[in-house]
Amino acid sequence: MNKRVITFGTFDVFHVGHINILERCASLGDTLIVGVSSDALNFSKKNRDPIYDQESRLKIIQSLRFVDEVFIEKSLEKKREYIEFFKADILAMGDDWEGRFDQFNDICEVVYFPRTPSISTTEIIEIVKQI
């Protein structure tokens, strides 16, 4: 059976932590689907605009060889709809979201991977600001 894996993220200022999680997600199945947070969703979560706009972030994710399908995630509340629409067997996320998506266990397997230590978009922005 073709196993379909779905994951979500902003993936702003793309870095190796993003690659690691996407590679891990891809290793769980045959098809990897990635929901990229819209600019508006990102603003509502983080209270700032992303550095790269949603079309650029989508294009970067789409160009990765282990990513098969991409779409813009418009609302955090629509996870169940997205999982069903894309017929995902597995939802995988980094463990900063540990426990937050367990409610979807009734329609798919929910997996959390450890975050890559010592790298984040926020830290990169802070470092660049100081240069």
Smallest separation, CB 72 to ligand C2G (Å)? 11
Residues 6+ apart with CB under 8 A from 124: 13, 15
Annotate each residue in 100-129 with x if it binds ligand C2G (CB under 6 A) or - if it does not, as one string. ---------------xx--xx---------
Is residue 94 within 8 Å of residue 21, measured between CB atoms? yes
User: Does residue number 74 form part of the binding site for ligand C2G (CB under 6 A)?
Assistant: no
Residues 5-24 that bind ligand C2G (CB under 6 A): 8-12, 17-18, 21
> Cα–Cα distance between 13 and 71 in angstroms, integer?
18
> Cα–Cα distance between 15 and 4 in angstroms, integer?
24
Q: Which residue has the tokens 């980094």?
A: 94
- The single residue among 6, 73, 82, 90 that binds ligand C2G, judged by CB under 6 A, is 73
Q: How far is CA 117 from CA 12, 21, 109, in A?
A: 17, 12, 25
User: Does residue number 93 form part of the binding site for ligand C2G (CB under 6 A)?
Assistant: yes
Smallest separation, CB 80 to ligand C2G (Å)? 12
Binding site for ligand C2G (CB under 6 A): 8-12, 17-18, 21, 37, 73, 76, 93-94, 96, 115-116, 119-120
